[in-house]
Amino acid sequence: MSENGAVLETVSVTKAFGGLTAVDDVNFEIPERSIVSIIGPNGAGKTTFFNMLTGLYRPTMGRIFFEGRDITYVRPDRILARGMARTFQNIRLFATMSALENVLVGQHARLRAGLFRSILRTPGVHREEREAREKGRELLEYVGLRPDAVDQMSANLSYGDQRRVEIARALASDPNVLLLDEPTAGMNPEESKRLTDFMRKLRDDRGLTILLIEHDMKVVMDVSERITVLDHGEKIAEGPPEEVRKNPQVIEAYLGKQAS
């Protein structure tokens, strides 16, 4: 934890693709056990920002700290192992693996079996596998997947179930911080509401910190304790929902400048 109690903190993070600055000098922090949203118009750099946090992109400048440690150039799999997991905007399940197998891959960093012990299937490996499967089933039940869908290939699952499996897969690594990239995309209002409740439950049950990219303003205003607004890669506003809602710069970014 850094001095100010932030579990995740970025300092002047910048990402340039050639001449285009996708994320520009963003300072940002999330307090522990909070739910924070990042919003902004299309192309504002939200997903790029996520990809830097999770190690897929290296920032051009700036540093990222997770639980007080610098993770700026750390590999994605190590970042996950340290306790930050994510979902993707377009669902990226392993399509030909079952729901359960997907969640087992999510546990990869928490399992120990190596090449030789797997070949010999030592009693330790045997137990580990059994426990991993048990945990996988529990997680899938926790996110609300029907029991008969557990062994189904994930490509055959409904869109909503795929979203559930992806969240279960991220939870499988026992993260402290969960990053959700547009989790309600393609959901109807009722499903969105259920997901919103679920996020609160995650925070309260498991002590998770949740960072969210979201377009659905109803969800954002409902669930977020704090909102950060990006526009053209820059942070233009930050604060509690009611404040951000009234911020003239935010209104301008979303609606365009009023002709005067």
Partner 1 sequence: MSLSLFSRHRDLVLALILLGGAAVVPFFFEEGAPFMDDAVTALAYVVMALGLNIVVGFAGLLDLGYVAFFAIGAYTMGWLGSGFADKINDGQGVHIGVSGFLDALPGIHLNFLLIAVAAVITTAIAGALIGLPTLRLRGDYIAIVTLAFGEIIRVFALNGTEIDFFGYTLTNGAQGITPVDKIQLPFTEQFTSLNLRPWFWTALGMVALVLFVNFRLRDSRLGRAWIAVREDEIAAASMGVPLVRTKLLAYATGAAFGGISGAFLGSYLNTVNADQFQFSFSIFVLAMIILGGLGNIWGVVLGAVVLSFANNYLIPDVLNPIPGDIGLDFDLTELSFGIFGFLLVIMMVLRPEGLLPERRRKLEMAGVGAGATAGVGETEIEPDVFETRA
Residues at the interface with partner 1 (CB under 8 A): 47, 51, 54-58, 73, 75-78, 80-81, 85-86, 88-97, 101, 104-106, 108-111, 113-115, 118-121, 125, 129, 151, 153-155, 159, 162, 169-170, 173, 185-186
In whole angstroms, the minimum distance from the beta carbon of 133 to partner 1 comes to 8
How far, in Å, CA of 124 to CA of 94, rounded? 27
Instruction: Tell me how crowded residue 124 is: count the other CB atoms within 10 A of its CB.
Output: 11
Output 58 or 127, the one with its CB closest to partner 1. 58
In whole angstroms, the minimum distance from the beta carbon of 131 to partner 1 comes to 12
In whole angstroms, the minimum distance from the beta carbon of 84 to partner 1 comes to 10
How far, in Å, CA of 121 to CA of 97, rounded? 22
Alpha helices in 71-122 (DSSP H): 76-82, 99-106, 115-120
Output 73 or 254, the one with its CB closest to partner 1. 73
Q: Which residues of 84-121 are buried (b: 16+ CB within 10 A; e: fewer)?
A: bbbbbeebebeeebbbbbbbbbbbebeeebeeeeeeee
How far, in Å, CA of 241 to CA of 36, rounded? 10
In whole angstroms, the minimum distance from the beta carbon of 246 to partner 1 comes to 29
In whole angstroms, the minimum distance from the beta carbon of 90 to partner 1 comes to 4
- Which one, of 149, 170, 172, 175, lies nearest residue 161 by Cα? 149
How far, in Å, CA of 81 to CA of 174, rounded? 9
Output 206 or 245, the one with its CB closest to partner 1. 206
State the residue for tokens 């946090």: 53
Residues with Cβ within 8 Å of residue 102, at least 6 apart in sequence: 93, 94, 154, 165, 166, 168, 169
In whole angstroms, the minimum distance from the beta carbon of 229 to partner 1 comes to 20
Output 125 or 230, the one with its CB closest to partner 1. 125
Output 1 or 95, the one with its CB closest to partner 1. 95
Output 97 or 221, the one with its CB closest to partner 1. 97
